[in-house]
Amino acid sequence: MIKTMIIDDEKHCIITLEHLISEHPDVEMVASTQDSTSAKELIEKYRPDIIFLDIEMPVMNGFELLKQFDTLFFKVIFTTAYDQYAIKALKMNALDYLLKPISAEDLEESIQKYKTSELQTSKAQLAQVHQFSSGKIQDTLALSTQQGLVFIKIDNISYLEADGSYTHIIMNDKTKHLASKPLSNFEEILQDNSLFFRAQKSFIINLKNIKQYIRGEGGDIVMEDGKNIALSRNKKSEFLGLFNKI
């Protein structure tokens, strides 16, 4: 039986999630609270496997609550109303979240992640999010891999290549990582970073690592490691406009 706990200052959100959880016979809700200041005591008493944790709460937000623990003996699924800034921070650090209003399908997906050990919560991930939320520049990306979490510097990424629902991340030093997220997830994370460009449906490239452009209908981009990437015809004008030509 998977033991769960809900921490949310809005009673109607707790009631809704309680109902959705009740549809899962192998999931048990052991406690809930609207008071973030008393949550630590309840967590230590009931020792849940999963905590559904609201991000924004009075007195103490979700991240501040988790900072009270020296070690995390539970997994966390954050619950939040749509906030692009907060969601980007969670995605960058491979943390799971549910958007309010929570759907049965999204809850099912999160529970399956727990069952397959894909749901991860670490102090390192939370520290990165806290840094992000404090307005500091976020330069590190947490990759969820089959082996666990890998933290990499964003500027050290050479290019990303789609592989179905997975993404290959190739670094400047030619090391490679396989992340269990689609390329679209990384496009959303990197969209505000001017270094990265979506060359075509299967590739996002770091513009600093381009070695050559070969003319053609769309043309071909040659990366520093010799990788040849076909540039989408629809992206050609945008790509060429990024550079000063002599």
- Residue range 41-57, pLDDT digits in tens: 999 999 999 999 999 89
Is the pLDDT confidence value at 212 over 90?
A: yes
Distance between CA atoms of residues 217 and 213, nearest Å: 12
Domain count, the chain: 2
Together in a domain, 103 and 183: no
Last residue in a domain, options 77, 102, 133: 133
Q: Across all residues in the chain, what is the average pLDDT?
A: 91
Is residue 114 located within the same domain as residue 168? no
Question: Has residue 245 been placed in a domain?
Answer: no
Residues 32 and 9: their CA atoms lie apart, in Å, by 10
Residues 14-44 have pLDDT tens digits of: 999 999 999 999 999 999 999 999 999 999 9
- pLDDT number for residue 239: 94
**Interatomic CA distance for residues 216 and 224, integer angstroms:** 20
> pTM for the complete prediction?
0.76
Three-state DSSP class for 48? coil
Same domain, 65 and 94: yes
Domain range holding 203? 142-240
The reply to whether 246 falls in a domain is no
Q: What is the pLDDT of residue 54?
A: 95
The percent of residues above 90 in pLDDT, for the chain, comes to 70
Q: What is the arithmetic mean of pLDDT over 133-139? A: 65
Q: How much is the average pLDDT of 113-126?
A: 88
Spatial separation of the C-alpha atoms in residues 39 and 242, rounded to whole Å: 51
CB atoms within 10 A of CB 73: 10
Give the 3-state secondary structure of residue 136. coil
CATH number at residue 47: 3.40.50.2300
- The CATH number covering residue 160 comes to 2.40.50.1020
